[in-house]
A and B are shown apart, each in its own frame.
Chain A
């Protein structure tokens, strides 16, 4: 803090007596402090970072923790993916899988067995060599019910993994993963799973360091300090250096990492800036290399700039409203269809959302690994009114009312208000809005205590299956009451056994068509990632999962501002 300002704050009872003198001194030092601050206070984070090779990242919220088998959010995974590495990683340009801890892998003819050959140079950050047993132990930890790993289902493609995770069996040796030798890991699957290698880049399949964890408690203890600074042992390109709660997390380049020569950054600083307006201002004054998101109303301003740092790219996620098909009036498919057809997604996108997203007419984002969802309907007010009349509410007469639940947020509110008005104008029906905060909202959705509820689903891996298997009869995240045995059959049995990708996608398209004809959801838009990226950052291209591979990032130390 500026010395002059400190002087005025060195307050004591004596000063109180000579108040007149200290008054002028106070105001003087205040002016001095302000002037000093204005006169330029040294380098910005970006300038210094470019010089030193340190990346400054806006990271949303304070991470819940850093245990890969516990945390579930994106801010956490941003840091975890710097400290740990999976069997395979992703190329940020193509999203194709690349060698990680496993230098190569072999998929059997029938697709049921995958053999991973670990890199013999792969090490933990304390120097220990990694072995295949690390994975067997770690996956047991990840699948143990007492771990409470909410992403345990990522490993369900493994034989008997689901049985172990739900407590039906408690002998882990029956689960389809074995260490053939120190550097060979053999995995047995329930069915051919095209996206399995992708899953190896997800944190819940990461290996963790057994001696470290066991030093601080049982394997499945959730709140031990093994993830604290000085304790955490990972196997990724970076090491945990500092963790100032609610202020920043600093990681530095690891020199035990097998691929360290390809890592250009010397360190990364993650800032948990929750307020997106503050985050944008921090970016503007050069304190961040890139942000987590951007306030909607700033988008037109940034778009209008030349060489704008604003980046907008498709993101693997869908924003939709859940419809409780068990509750009247939504138990009538015509009512559901009417609601959906009356929404002018284009107008919503162009006005409230400033044209940043993509209107959605299905659950799967278009272009998901080449898959295009079928378009079963379109914006059609006349047809919507007709459907509503057929359902027994001509021009809204006799409409019993409908409540929309959503979690408290500026953007959800904006969309809800806009749609509320659209339904009023097109169908003459009243929708009430009820916002709840996050935890309460999640419970409501979980227990199906709603009529219509806002939802967002972000893909964990790139495959239409990730979206379509939401609506299986016993899908834990279905939450609509939609249940179609033929749909289940198509997703669970037919698609995995398809002879080719075309055939598989044809089955998916047919299934999705069946789904959307029943309209258990109102799709609204496909997500896009929106953020600000400083031009001195190279190697952070946009991709469908907004996935960052830190090994590819470089900072241009010669970057100069044009003004």
Chain B
């Protein structure tokens, strides 16, 4: 490991004051804090589900059928007599996993793309961003439907397909960040030191662009989760015997008249998660004072 460079020290100083300020500002935003709390709570539960779920996932009691919430089953049971709370917990694992993983895919592609375009500028930039613009215009739902239908429904493909849709905005954000950072002295210094573009991007540009990236990541996750819910609703996403919140809502919608709790509780959970992510994202945006297109 080489000796700390001027840039590293400058960064460290810059970093701590930036992040501490942001954190203080965030703490004051009550909605964002609420969102963070709820999100953390859900994530923890999702991680611990196999140990803390009240019933086994596949345990069914056919004679019981669908029952409303009771002492034995806090959120009721579905038509197989399976505990809804357990279903929602396991479904949450999948929904949140899709959300985070697909977003990571989008993040990876988007950051790389945007950084390269922003760093090199000129023709490279023009070509890469034109591609982004063109892709932006396409009806992605159509392609995803087609992809899922053609290649069958496996989870990996789902992550990739969804991630491939969401990277565009990320690329744009990263590019504009990189463009403005590019002009700064520490980048000039790094170039004159002879560092390769890859190193510069990795060590200097990305960390400095983290602010907007974090914000948009937080706002991409709910989009992704929604996309998964849509696909599962149409029968193209997660497949039984696995479950996700989207699937639970789809099943619940069919029997919502007789058994409204089958729709309400998964729905409520999804909505809460989406609210939390959105509030958090908005709070982060205000805290980090990021400006940009609000879509």
Contacts and interface: CB of A to CB of B under 8 A. Distances in A.
Contact of B254 (A277, A351, A420): A277
B241 interface: yes
Contacts of B149: 437
A433 B65 contact: no
A418 B149 CA distance: 27
A42 B235 CA distance: 38
Given A417-B60, A417-B240, A352 B258 contact: no
Interface in B117-169: 149, 152
A297 B60 contact: no
Contacts of A277: 254
A414 B241 contact: no
Contacts of A424: 58
A301 interface: yes
Contacts of B60: 417-418, 421
A418 B254 contact: no
Nearest to B258: A297
Interface residues of B, number: 19
Nearest to B58: A421
B79 A414 contact: yes
Nearest to A300: B258
Interface in A294-328: 295, 297-298, 301
Given A297-B258, A301-B258, A410-B254, A418 B62 contact: yes
A297 B240 contact: no
Given A414-B79, A417-B80, A417-B240, A351 B235 contact: no
Nearest to B256: A277
Contacts of B235: 408, 437
A104 interface: no
A351 B62 contact: yes
B268 to A, nearest CB: 21
A433 B258 CA distance: 27
B258 A298 contact: yes
Contacts of A418: 60, 62, 80
A408 B233 CA distance: 13
A297 B214 CA distance: 46
B275 interface: no
A163 interface: no
A42 to B, nearest CB: 25
A440 B150 CA distance: 10
A173 interface: no
Contact of B241 (A348, A433, A437): A433
A7 to B, nearest CB: 31
B199 interface: no
A351 B65 contact: yes
B240 A352 contact: no
Interface in A326-385: 347-348, 351-352
B258 A414 contact: no
B186 interface: no
Contacts of B62: 347-348, 351-352, 418, 421
A435 B240 contact: yes
A352 B79 CA distance: 8
A413 interface: yes
Contacts of B65: 351
A352 B239 CA distance: 20
Contact of B63 (A351, A420, A437): A351
Interface string A46-73: 0000000000000000000000000000
Nearest to B80: A417
A435 B240 CA distance: 8
15 contacts: A277-B254, A297-B66, A297-B259, A301-B258, A347-B63, A351-B65, A352-B62, A352-B80, A408-B235, A414-B80, A418-B60, A418-B80, A421-B58, A421-B62, A437-B235
